[in-house]
């Protein structure tokens, strides 16, 4: 049995689900895209091909194995994009919460059923259907749970809005011992530079007390300011619009001192090394074309 435990974003990783690019299907039609960056690449004829994405994910597996992390992969569903495991479920403390994901992505959850068999039934939570929530919007961080949300009246018209207010209430109710803090995110169906698809597309804690942050991803200035004050300006790596677009906040922590990052993130990787981090650089720029990166591809089960 798996002893689920996740209370932050950076404690030493022991067990994780990593998505797969195997049989991710042909290039979607423009109307099938569910994020603006994929749409852009579909229209430009530069949508990533499966062999390149498999190669990138193989590099990720190799790093995880080097650190003796137990890695589960989803069962391959034919012609189904299963790269972003983060969004189909997530772990807080010793509970796994099934996400209520975009209907276009619903079948992805079936593929990790075999992992769920290793978890006690009473540790798996299935939120009611009015709760919309994806793991990319949820971050346990010590006494807090940070949640990215969109609550505007046009919620339904945004395919990029994935987590609603009902989700915030639901998580508060399930984790009464935690402080749940929500952040309104900027959404655009058509412009990836103006779209924080999930909270992890504009923010992520790293190390013991640092963070990567992009101001324009937040709709409400005070909410962004709260994060800046909480971590402190000297502990925050601020990224630009183009850096958000390249998914720079979406690196992945194996421990408080080891970060897996994209090899082209020179400015970030140097900043991290200057602060004593070991940076495991891998190629992930093809997968980045789908508006997701390293954190998005993982579903941590056990961090000690």
Ligand X SMILES: NC(=[NH2+])NCCC[C@H](N)C(=O)O
Q: CB-based burial of residue 41 (10 Å sphere; 0-12 exposed, 13-18 middle, 19+ buried)? A: buried
Nearest to 170 by CA among 153, 191, 188, 149: 149
| Spatial separation of the C-alpha atoms in residues 111 and 150, rounded to whole Å | 28
Instruction: Work out how close the CB of 176 gets to ligand X at its nearest, in angstroms, rounded to a whole number.
Output: 26
Instruction: Work out how close the CB of 90 gets to ligand X at its nearest, in angstroms, rounded to a whole number.
Output: 10
Instruction: Work out how close the CB of 248 gets to ligand X at its nearest, in angstroms, rounded to a whole number.
Output: 12
What's phi and psi for 133, nearest 5 deg?
-155, 140
Nearest to 71 by CA among 303, 304, 244, 300: 300
Residue number, 35 or 56, with CB nearest to ligand X:
35
Residue number, 136 or 207, with CB nearest to ligand X:
136
Place of tokens 């006494």: 143
Residue number, 280 or 291, with CB nearest to ligand X:
291
Query: Which residue lies nearest ligand X, judged by its C-beta?
Result: 136
Place of tokens 């007390």: 209
Residue number, 132 or 257, with CB nearest to ligand X:
132
Task: Give residues in contact with ligand X (CB under 6 A).
Answer: 34-35, 38, 84, 86-87, 136, 197-198, 200-201, 290-292, 296
Residue number, 236 or 296, with CB nearest to ligand X:
296
Q: Are 238 and 215 in contact (CB under 8 A)?
A: yes
Instruction: Work out how close the CB of 215 gets to ligand X at its nearest, in angstroms, rounded to a whole number.
Output: 18
Instruction: Work out how close the CB of 268 gets to ligand X at its nearest, in angstroms, rounded to a whole number.
Output: 17
**Counting runs of H as helices and runs of E as strands, what totals does the chain give?**
7, 15
């Amino acid at each position: 049995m798996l002893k689920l435990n996740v209370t932050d974003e950076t404690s030493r990783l022991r067990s994780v689900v990593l998505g797969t690019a195997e049989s991710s299907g042909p290039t979607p039609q423009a109307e099938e895209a569910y994020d603006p960056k994929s749409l852009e690449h579909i229209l430009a004829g530069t949508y990533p091909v499966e062999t390149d994405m498999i190669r990138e994910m193989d590099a990720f597996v190799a790093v995880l194995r080097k650190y003796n992390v137990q890695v589960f992969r989803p069962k391959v569903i034919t012609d189904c994009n299963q790269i972003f495991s983060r969004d189909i479920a997530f772990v807080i403390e010793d509970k796994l919460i099934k996400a209520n994901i975009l209907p276009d992505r619903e079948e992805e959850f079936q593929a990790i059923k075999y992992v769920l068999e290793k978890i006690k039934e009473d540790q798996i939570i299935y939120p009611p259907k009015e709760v919309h929530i994806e793991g990319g919007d949820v971050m346990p961080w010590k006494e807090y749970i940070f949640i990215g949300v969109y609550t505007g009246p046009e919620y339904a018209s945004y395919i990029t809005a994935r987590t609603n207010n009902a989700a915030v209430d639901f998580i508060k109710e399930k984790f009464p011992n935690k402080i749940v803090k929500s952040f309104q995110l900027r959404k655009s169906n058509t412009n990836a530079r103006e779209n924080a698809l999930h909270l992890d597309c504009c923010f992520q804690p790293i190390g013991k007390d640092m963070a990567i942050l992009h101001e324009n991803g937040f709709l409400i200035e005070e909410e962004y300011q709260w994060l800046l004050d909480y971590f402190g300006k000297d502990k925050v790596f601020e990224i630009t619009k183009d850096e958000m677009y390249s998914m720079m906040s979406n690196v992945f922590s194996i421990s408080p001192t080891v970060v897996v990052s994209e090899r082209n993130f020179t400015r970030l990787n140097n900043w991290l090394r200057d602060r004593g981090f070991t940076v495991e650089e891998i190629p992930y720029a093809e997968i980045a074309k789908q508006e997701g990166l390293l954190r998005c591809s993982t579903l941590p089960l056990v961090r000690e």
